[in-house]
Structure 1
Amino acid sequence: MSRIAVHRKKARWQDRGRDYVVFVDGKEVARIANGASCEVQVVPGPHAVQLRIDWCRSPELRVEVGQGETVQLSCGPNAHPLFAIFHILFVRNRYVWLRPAA
């Protein structure tokens, strides 16, 4: 069984009361609360993962998931709370960061 696991970094202020919506291959598969994690089952192979909150999103991240493997990802808000309005208005496609977990 192959999986994609996403851990959301706990934020003090930004988006702390709202969930990020997880999309795999363009389909909504989960929601992640502040400081929480989710794990979704996928078929082995390449997948596109993206997070969204309202009309803002992360860049799409392409991952290769092997048979029986769990790909670990982490995410969080890109903008400092004082600059959130700038991100919402001008760089909404990079509002959330998403990357392989360290």
Structure 2
Amino acid sequence: MIEIERKSEIRDKMRSYKIILDNKFFGEIKSGEIKRFNIATGKHRIYLKIDWCRSNKLDFYISNDEVVELKCGNSMKQWTIVNFLAYATIAKNKYLWIDIKKIK
């Protein structure tokens, strides 16, 4: 099972992030939400998408009866026109982030 926790932030507050697992649309997550999904044992790759931007791609392995806790959010610390233009163009694959919080 995976558990994904999205931080509650002002940026993208009213928008959902698409969850992409193993290159397939898997669901969506809203600001401040925690989602749980049962997935098969084995190696997986997950990332998040919003419009043309996305997060880093995270590879992980899940064993039987294991829970992989993930956390995610928006990478932009402060909204400025320069930050927006950078994240919308050259850093579009870093606009969002996802990381492992804990494996239990």
Check whether TM > 0.5: yes
The equivalences for 1:1-80 within 5 A come to 3-11=1-9, 13-79=10-76, 80=78
Bigger mean CA deviation after superposition, 77-86 or 44-53: 77-86
Is contact 1:47-1:63 (8 Å) kept? yes
C-alpha RMSD of matched pairs (Å): 1.1
What SS does structure 2 have at the residue aligned with 1:90? coil
Deviation at 1:4, TM superposition (A): 1.2
Identity %: 28
TM-score, normalised to structure 1, is 0.91
Question: Gapped runs of 5+ residues in structure 2?
Answer: none
Question: Gapped runs of 5+ residues in structure 1?
Answer: none
Q: Tell me how far apart the structure 1 counterparts of residues 68 and 56 of structure 2 sit (CA, whole Å).
A: 17
Deviation at 1:68, TM superposition (A): 1.0
Q: Tell me how far apart the structure 2 counterparts of residues 20 and 85 of structure 1 sit (CA, whole Å).
A: 20
Is contact 1:29-1:40 (8 Å) kept? no
TM-score, normalised to structure 2, is 0.89
